[in-house]
């Protein structure tokens, strides 16, 4: 059995997400769904504890950016805590530091102990592909410098989605 990658704790209108291991396209849909549910439940301040995050791919970063945009639209905010090294470099290179608060400080300690986010049944390939498309489009939206990095990725993923016989 796989160890949980994403953990969460909520308190009033705040949520603490803990990322253990690598944030990737494989767990971005879980993050997207959990973030939406918690935002819809009234939390407006998300903190991500990256102290045990071993890395993040572009889909995970784009999913974080998408959540940050939704939070901002609802009057909320997102902070990435314990951000350093390669994770900080990736966040800055993708332009997320212009969208949310990035801190080297540890996550707040006044939250209840985080619990694992339930892992749903494996997503259909079409769902994973759509999550990847949405994440990369968000990265392009937040920083025009990302267009040259990801326009071909988006095009390829969109072609793949269009040719998926299960979607027709």
Residue 1 has pLDDT above 50, yes or no: no
pTM value is 0.93
In this predicted model, what pLDDT tens digit does every residue of 118-167 receive, in sequence order?
A: 877 777 888 999 999 999 999 999 999 999 999 999 999 999 999 877 65
- Residue ranges covered by each domain of the chain: 6-162
Q: Beta strands of 27-144 (E only): which ranges?
A: 45-56, 77-81, 101-102, 115-116
As its CATH architecture, domain 6-162 has 2-Layer Sandwich (3.30)
45-103: per-residue pLDDT in tens? 999 999 999 999 999 999 999 999 999 999 999 999 999 999 999 999 999 999 999 99
Three-state SS for 96-115 is: HHHCCEECCCCCCCCCCCCE
- Residue 144, exposed/middle/buried by CB under 10 A (0-12, 13-18, 19+)? exposed
**60-92 core/surface letters (b: 16 or more CB in 10 A; e: else):** bbbbbbbbbbbbeeeebebbbbbbeeebbebbe
């Amino acid at each position: 059995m796989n160890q949980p990658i994403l953990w969460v704790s909520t308190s009033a209108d705040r949520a603490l997400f803990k990322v253990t291991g690598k944030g990737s396209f494989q767990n971005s849909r879980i993050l997207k769904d959990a973030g939406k549910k918690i935002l819809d439940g009234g939390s407006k301040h998300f903190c991500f504890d990256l102290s045990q995050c071993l890395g993040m791919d572009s889909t995970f970063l784009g999913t974080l950016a998408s959540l940050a945009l939704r939070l901002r639209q609802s009057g909320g905010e997102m902070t990435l805590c314990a951000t350093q090294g390669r994770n900080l470099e990736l966040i800055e290179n993708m332009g997320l530091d212009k969208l949310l608060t990035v801190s080297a400080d540890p996550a707040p300690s006044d939250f209840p102990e985080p619990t694992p986010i339930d892992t749903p049944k494996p997503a259909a390939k079409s769902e994973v592909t759509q999550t990847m498309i949405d994440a990369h489009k968000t990265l392009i939206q937040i920083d025009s410098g990302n267009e040259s990095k990801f326009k071909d990725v988006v095009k390829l993923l969109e072609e793949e989605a269009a040719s998926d016989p299960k979607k027709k």
